[in-house]
Structure 1
Amino acid sequence: MKHTARPSLLLGIALLMCACSQQPDRPPKEAASPVVVAPAPQTPVDEVQRLLARAARSDPATANDLRLDAATELADRGDTVRARELLASIEGARLEGPQWVRHQVLLARIDIEDAAPATALARLDNPAMQTESAGITRATQVDLALVRADALQALNRPVESARERSLIQAWMSDEQQRRANARAILATLSQVDMGELGHEIGSATSDDWRGWLELASIWRDLRPGPNAQRAELQNWQQRNALIPSLEPAYRELAPEILERIKQPRRIALLLPLGGAAGAGAHAVLHGYLAEHYRQLQAGESAPPFAVIDTTSTEGGFPAAYNAAVSDGAELVIGPLLKEDLQAFAGNLELQVPTIALNFDNENPLALPKLYQFGLDAGDEVAQLAREADNRNLHRTLLLADASPRARRQVEDFNKQWRARNGVVLDTLYLGDLNDYRVQLERTLLVAQSRERSDMLARTLGFKFESEPRRRQDLDFAVLLADPVAARSVRPLLSFLYAGDLPLWATSESNAAVAGNRSDQDLEALRFIDMPWFSSAEATLRRSIQAAGYSGAIERLVALGVDASRLQSRVGLLTWLNEAGLGGATGELSLDTQGRIHRRGQWYVFADGTASPEKARPETPDPSSTEGGTAWQPQEQAPQTRDAPPRITP
């Protein structure tokens, strides 16, 4: 992974975390040793050779500074192999405290370049760093904090990374560096879940850190209308104008955000309201209208829009698109169908910004002004793989229904998981329940556990009561199945002594119908779904349900809601190239091909009800008991002197 930021750490380094470091204390100083560096790949004398030549003619202290300068130059060029060799050659040399700190910071920087951020963080959190950092320059302090921020970012700890950067913002004397760091803070905070961002704002103890968090929340939140969002940004500028470290944010970044919030003067929705896709198209339209009128009630000045049924338009979508643009539409929402989207690959000219409500993985398009926004299950599969990797889970079992959609998701997950060096122990497709039980029992190695119990009983010469165990090299299972198939899995796992196995799923397993008693069988299922089903969207969702939309089709309604919200904020998608805009369908980001990707919210089923994961109290993992369910405590038989001993093989 490449990092463009230069190294660094917290002010005074007294804030360094040192309790968990496994790094050895600084070795005792030794006499200077000769420096041996691999020959440069080019013959002309360059800066590195010049610095090393000067070092050879200098006193020991100056020579070490020059060698560190040469290693820095090599690292700046991306030549981490020679940089590490040079740093290794002066490892045993007599280094003064500031030189040793600089040496460690450079090594940590190279660790990150070599995909070893945990090693880098341990190096920087070495308790010896605190002792040796007393005399380091402000520039080295900044470098230290920046490298530590990079390590935290690579370890998927964006809040800590942004916090690290914010602490040294005021120390930077170079204006260009200050501006770059300010952008990096907001770009990093764009990767934080909106819910977590709100929690951090509530717990912030300093005005400058709270200011960064609030700015990130304001520019990412799509729920307020564009006028309300502008007003919040302007209020933020006024509140924080006297905080020096936030100066690049309120003078440069906030105005940039304001410029990118632009409401088109006229909009056209092009949807197939008739035919096979009619029900879905009407759901999208209903979501758009609900959000449109919600904003009007909140005092927003929403632009006029036209709704065109592409199925009843002679010439279909291309003709409807050209007619809409001719009538003055400055932004088009549609098409909904993949075949209509491919019209842009032919003779149809993309004339105005267009939010397509679908995408085509087999025939991808990458066109200026085209934003492809759909409910791609692949985004959820990728998020599952990322989350498991971030939690250091490595070995999984895939449980899928037999549909073509599930098979595509299995293929997607395998691709994502292999790229992260994960292992899929087996893939089972839900079919006949009895056959499936036999396959799952074999995969979980339950029979081998029983055999070990029987062998032990024969060896001991007496019978004893035992409970088989599932295989212990399995970290979690991934469920890729519709709600009906999904409900059969948890009870079966519990019956096979695997009720403690973490079970994750995509939104496909959630029927999204409140009060469904069948969902009791999804207990402890951890799954990804839209923020639409959380309390944040409760008011708008109730109005949608009153119109007769409930369950899985609500996801298409949410797509229409976000289309309405994005029409004035498409410019924010391209800002910083890191935007995690908080919408009803998820946190939205744009890739280089014009695809809008969604990051969903984590939910957990408890007592048949799904709720956002972080809103639930911590509960212990369910226990496994044969014949019962993992989430129902089983009554223990009273133990007597004559009862056989219980042994778990």
Structure 2
Amino acid sequence: MRSYRAAAITVLFSLALSACVPGIKPPSPAETAAAQQAAALASQGQFDQAAQAYLALAAQNPGRASHYRLLAAEDYRQEDALDRAAPIIASIDRTQLQGDEPVRLDLLRAEIALRQHDPATALRLTSQPGVSVPPALQPRQLELRAQAMAASHDYWGAGRTRVQMDGLLHGLDRTQNRTQAIDLLTKEGVDELKQRAAAMHPGDRMLPWINEALTRLGVVVAQAQPNLGQPVGTLLPGAGANVRQGYKVPAKLALLLPEGNDFAGVSQAIREGFFAAYFNAASNHAPRPSVRVYDSVGTPDGAVKAYQLAVADGAQLIVGPLTRGAVGAVLAQSSLPVPVLALNHPDNDTLPASGATEFALRPETEGAQVADHMIERGITRAYVIISDDDFAKRAAGAFKAELVARGGQVVGQAQITSGSVNYHSAIAGLSMTDSSTTPAPAPA
């Protein structure tokens, strides 16, 4: 999880700051040009040459020597040459550093300490109270802290630190961090995890991670059951209401739907179905909540803002959002103060806090169900036609695996461009492949 800095901008900004410090003369044009050349070498991946150039600048400019030595050490780090960075770090005068440089120095020192099998020093350097860490450096600080805790056999602390990192990461970094977090928690053992879970509030952010770790250890995690006063299904008396025991409705409900042009049709269909059921509840004299619809815009940020607005307005249950990206963003929040019934699955396998439910089929589930329905109807041979998007490919893969597992056969496959309505080439390919097979399009 290393990120390359915008070296030229960093150097120029640092030089401008140092020029403002009393007693330090501003950099000469020659020094500025040399610093820019060193930064250019680093941006091209020539870290060893860049480090040598910075060390030369440190020797020529004592007032900014620590600044240049820090840059040199960071370039050696990029080369994975921490052994060469260590003596440079030891020669840095912390009082000469400005801006975020003291934090960067501490992170380098922590990384070197870990390499030298000194997790106690690394933990101290990454857990200093009162130190403000810039957002761009927070993932690296937490990563080093988690490594130090794990090296000290504090698996719970390391796991919690990685959970804290989850919202700061993206893509492969996030996936790897989640795997490491669960692996660390499993090292706590079943009994310890159960004790920790029992002491937590229902909405604690760590609960789903603990449950995942327990599942990994082979423990079946029980779901919380409602506290019923009478047997399930008992009709409750009063005003002719046809409401059974166990039914509980919130006073205020929020519906999060995107209202933009790209989603207008889908949103309208969901809205109409939702309110059809809502008004039909009146025929049973069932209690109904007040409902307010919020525009989630169709973007992850818009969905999070809509969720937070609904919470501020007093909603006790939130239905939505709709798109996978929006669902992932809402469920990735550090806490969910109001329960969510999401209308899709997140596309990043987000582990939500307690109180979140997903109402949707994954493409793999949908594809497997198509195969099951075909087998149940005696159809054992299929030619698969799919579009070229990720959803269709995942559904088709599950469809083929399920069909073959249940004794069926996929005799061929054709792919069409997303949004295409011309199946001529796919049908022509089918007739040439196996004229006795009926096309069975997988979900697209």
**Greater relative contact order (Cα < 8 A, sep 6+):** 1
TM-score, shorter chain, exceeding 0.5? no
Q: Aligning the two structures, in what range does the TM-score lie when normalised by the shorter sequence? A: 0.3 to 0.5
TM-score by length of 2: 0.39
